[in-house]
Structure 1
Amino acid sequence: MPAATSTVPPAVMKQSPTEPKNYGSYGTQESTAAATADLLRRQEELNRKAEELDRRERELQNAALTGGTMRQNNWPPLPSFCPVKPCFYQDIGVDIPQEFQKTVSIMYYLWLVSAGTLLLNFLACLTLFCVDGSGGPGFGMSILWVILFTPCSFVCWYRPLYKAFRSDSSFNFFLFFFIYFVQDIVYVLEAVGIPGWGFSGWVSALTALKQGNTGTSVFMMIVAVLLTATAVMGIVMLKRIHSIYRRTGASFQKAQEEFAAGVFSNSAVRTAATNVAAGAAQNAFKP
C-alpha cells in the first residue's frame, strides 16, 4: 500500500498592520498657520475699514442734525483759554479716503518740518548777527521768512492739497501744483543759502566758516542739511502727487468748470453781477 501522504498547506505569513505614515504633517501645519495669519490680517483690515465707515457715518449724521452747518474748527489746536480760536477743520482720518491718507499725512509733516526749519534758520541768522554785525540784513530777512512763509505755506498749498484729496477737486489740484512748484524753488534757494537773503544754507555756512565763526558755521550747516532734505522731499512728493493726480482722471477742463461753478455760486458775486447788469440796463434806456 502506498504510504499516506499528508498534505500540509504552506504556512502563510501574517502581516502585522502597519501604522499609517503621516507624510508632510509639518508642511500642513505651516500652511495652516499661514492661512490663519492671512485671515487675521484681513480681519484687522476689515475692522479698520468698518471703523472708518463708522466715523464717516457719524460725521454725516452730525452734519444732518445740525442742518448742514460747518463742523467746528479744530486747527490749530489751541487751548480753550486762548482768545484766538482755531481757523480750520482738519481730520485726515475722516475727510481723506484711506488710500490717500498717508500722502496727505506726509505733506502735513513736511509742512511742520519746513516751519520748524525756518525757526531754526531764524536762530542761526541771529547767532551769526551776534558774532558778525554785517549779518544784520540776513537776520532781518529771516524774520520775514518765518513770519510770512509759515502761515502762507499752510494756507496756499497745504489746504488746497487737503481739499483736493477730500473732494477730488481738479481746481485745488492745479492750485496746489502751481504754488508748490514755486515753493520748491524757494526750498532750493534756502538750501543754497545766498548771503544776505536770510537763509542759512551751504554758501552762508561755508562763508561763516571761512570767517572763523566755527560754532555758528556748524549750527548753520545743521540748518542747511534740514533745508536740503526739505527741498529734496518736496520734489519727491510733488512728483508722487502728480502721478496720483493723473490716475484720478482730473483735467484742466474740470478745473475750469469747478472754478466757474464756485464763482457763480457765490452770493456776493451774483449780487455784484446783478447790480452791474441792472446799471447797464438803466443806462441803456436813458435818453
Structure 2
Amino acid sequence: MSKYTSFPEPNDDHNPFQDPSVTQHSSNTDYPTLDLYNPFDTRAPGPPPPYEATPPSAPPPAQTPPIRTTPTEPRNYGSYGTQSAVNATTAELLRKQEELERKAKELERRERELDSHARSTGSSRQNNWPPLPSFCPVGPCFYQDINVEINQRFQRIVTIMYYFWMFSAGTLIFNLISCLALFCVDVQNGVGLGLAILWLVLFTPCSFVCWYRPVYKAFRSDSSFNFFAFFFIFFAQVVLYVIMTIGIPGWGFSGWIVGLYALKKQVAVGVIMLLNAVLFTAQAAMGVVMLKKVHSLYRQTGASFQKAQAEFATEVFSNQAVRQAAANATTSAAQGAFTGAR
C-alpha cells in the first residue's frame, strides 16, 4: 500500500496539511473556495468554475449634513387648524389696517377742507340748517356740519346731543297730542292744551339755540364760555324735564299725575298720557347722563372759568354794537360833566 493509502506509523511525525495534493490545490487559484462551490448542484456538471475575485465594493457616498434653520425662518409646528387660525388672524389684521388707512384719508380730506374754509376770505359759508325747501320764504339760519367742523374725537357726543334735541322736540309733539286727547274727553282741560301748544312753540327753537348751539360751538372751537353757558342752561332744562315727568295738572305736561287722572276718565286716553309720561322720564334720565358726559369731556379739553371770563370780555369788546354804546355813554357822560362844570 502506498504512502497515501496507508496509515502512518505512530512514531512518524506526519503533517496532513503538507500533503502534496492539498498544497497543490491551495496553490491553484483557478478554483473557488469551498464557500462558493456546491458539489451537490446537479445543474452545473463538470469541474467547478474558475475562481473570480470579488471586486472591492465602492465606499458609501458621503452624506450631506442637514441644513440648520435660523430662528428667522418660518416653521410650521402646528396642525391644519392652527394654520387656519393664523391665516384668519392675518386677514383680520389686514382688514383693520385698510380701515385705518381709509379713516386717515378721510381725516386728511376733512382737514384740507377746513383749511380751505379758513383761508378763504370775503366768502362766508352758506347756512344749511334748518333744511328748508327752496320755495320757503325763510332761509336757513345756521351752518352746521358735524363731520367737518367738529373734531373727530368729539363728533360722537355732538351727534348724540343733536339726536337728543330731536327726541325732546318729538316728545313735546307727542305731549301736544296727549293733551288734545284729554281735552276731547274733558273740556275743562283747555288751559293744559293751550300751554302744551306754547311749550312746543317755545321750547323747540329755544332749546336748539340756548343749549345745543353752545355745546356745538364749545366742541368746535374749544370755547370755555360756551361750555359754561351750556352747563347753566342745560341744567335748568333737566330740572324742567323732571317737572314734565311729574305732570302737575294745569301745566300742560302729560306726566304721571295727569296720566293717572286721565286713566280714570278714559282708559285709552290714560294709556296715551302714561306713555307720554314714560317718554318724559326717559328724557329726564338721558338729560342727566348727557350732562355728566359733556362735563367729563369738558375736563379733558383744558377749559376753565378764567378762560371763560377772558372769552366773554373779548366777545363783548369786539362787538361793534357794544363798543358804539360804550362810546356814546362815555361821550354823554363827558358832555354832562362839562356842562355841570360851566
Match of 1:207 in 2: 261
> For residue 205 of structure 2, what is the amino acid of its counterpart?
P
Match of 1:179 in 2: 233
Taking only the aligned residue pairs, the percentage that are identical comes to 58
User: Gapped runs of 5+ residues in structure 2?
Assistant: 1-16, 18-32, 36-59, 61-74
Q: 2:157 aligns with which of 103, 106, 130?
A: 103
Residue of structure 2 equivalent to 1:82: 136
**Alpha-carbon separation, structure 1, partners of 2:237 and 2:106:** 36
Aligned length: 277
- In the other structure, the counterpart of 1:145 is 199
Report the CA distance between 1:28 and its aligned residue: 4.3
Task: Tell me if structure 1 keeps the 8 A contact 2:182–2:269.
Answer: yes
Report the Cα distance in structure 1 between the residues aligned to 2:128 and 2:291, rounded to whole angstroms: 27
1:78-124 CA-to-partner distances (Å, cap 9, x unmatched) read: 11111110000010000111111111111110110110110110011
Superposed CA offset, 1:189-235 (max 9, x none): 11111111111111111111123x10101111111111111111111
Structure scoring higher RCO (CA < 8 A, sep ≥ 6) equals 1
* Aligned-partner Cα distance in 2 for 1:108–1:89: 14
Report the counterpart of residue 95 of structure 2 in structure 1. 40
Does residue 156 in structure 1 map to residue 210 in structure 2?
yes
2:280 equivalent to 1:227: yes
Aligned equivalents of 2:258 and 2:227: distance in 1?
35
Distance 2:122 2:282 in 1: 42
Taking the aligned partners of 1:163 and 1:99, their CA distance within structure 2 comes to 15
Residues in 1 aligned to 2:114 and 2:293: alpha-carbon distance in whole angstroms: 30
The equivalent position to 1:27 in structure 2, one of 79, 82, 85, is: 82
**1:47-66 mapped onto 2 (5 Å cutoff):** 47-65=102-120
* Structure-1 separation of matches of 2:259 and 2:338: 71
Q: Is 1:250 equivalent to 2:303 in the alignment?
A: yes
C-alpha distance in 2 between matches for 1:96 and 1:47? 19
Distance in 2 separating the partners of 1:68 and 1:103: 32
Deviation of 1:23 (Å) = 1.9
Contact 2:224 2:305 in 1 (8 A): yes
Quote the residue 1:128 is aligned against.
182
Q: CA RMSD in A?
A: 2.8
CA shift for structure 1 position 276: 2.3
Question: How far off its partner does 1:24 sit?
Answer: 1.3
Q: Which has the larger radius of gyration?
A: 2
What is the deviation of 1:163? 0.3
Q: Deviations over 1:46-69 (max 9, x none)?
A: 32232133133224324534x153
> TM-score, normalising length from structure 1?
0.88
Give the Cα separation in 2 of the matches to 1:31 and 1:63.
48
C-alpha separation in 1, matches of 2:220 and 2:303: 14
Cα distance per residue 1:6-51 (max 9 Å; x no partner): 9xxxxx9xxxxxxxx9421543442343233223213313322321
Distance 1:242 1:278 in 2: 44
More helix by share: 1
Contact 1:63/1:71 (8 A) holds in 2: no
With normalisation by structure 2, the TM-score equals 0.75
C-alpha distance in 2 between matches for 1:56 and 1:87: 25
Instruction: Measure, in 1, the Cα distance between the counterparts of 2:259 and 2:321.
Output: 51
Secondary structure, counterpart of 1:75 in structure 2: coil
Asked if residue 278 in structure 1 is aligned to residue 307 in structure 2, the reply is no
